[in-house]
Amino acid sequence: MSKPTPLLAALALAAVLIPAAALRAGQAQSTQAQSSQAQSSQAQASPAQSGQTRAAPAPANLAPTASPARPLLNVQGAGVVAVPPGATETSAVMILRNPGAQPVVLTGAQTAVAGHAMLMTTRRDAQGRSGMSAVKTLTVPARGTLRLEPSGDHLMLMGLKRTLKVGETVRLTLRVRGGPPLVVNAVVRKP
């Protein structure tokens, strides 16, 4: 793979930031001046400081004429459940809001603190018993919300590589069908 040129890297970053600025401004399209201001403010605030989570830039090998970036998911309350030392699994929870006109399909997740991550769902049967099962995808409906929580759909982090400390931030990468991955900073919290 060749090293991306600065111009190509800048175009890929702009493809992510400009649609985000337009969404925040409540406009379908933004003017060049508004885009510049939004890019400037985005560059100054990190996701952890602003409480916003952004999609990772598009891969550098995409041509600048590729289709426009998919609307971003808004993430709220991202957290990882603290577990006792020696525990090898935990869950990640958050609220995902999709402001776009198309559903966003999550196809997987990964993090450096676990061997692997699984998309899970919890269901109740007719007798009221609940059970978890792995699923291949979870969908955030168009203009809708997906709540990832321990008693419903959630992410399981399996094969923890170390004990997670309450208050630390864990970086999760959510894979999105047909779009760039979404990087989420989740805080470890007591259950």
pTM for this entry: 0.62
Residue 122 confidence (pLDDT) above 60:
yes
Q: How would you write the chain as a 3-class SS string? A: CCCCCHHHHHHHHHHHHHHHHHHHHCCCCCCHHHHHHHHHHHHHCCHHHHCCCCECCCCCCCCCCCCCCCCCCEEEEEEEECCCCCCCEEEEEEEEECCCCCCEEEEEEEECCEEEEEEEEEEECCCCCEEEEECCCEEECCCCEEEECCCCCEEEEEEECCCCCCCCEEEEEEEECCCCCEEEEEEEECC
What was the pLDDT predicted at 151?
Answer: 86
Average pLDDT rounded to a whole number, residues 76-88: 96
Residue 34 confidence (pLDDT) above 50:
no
All domains of the chain in start order, with CATH: 6-50 (no CATH), 74-189 (2.60.40.1890)
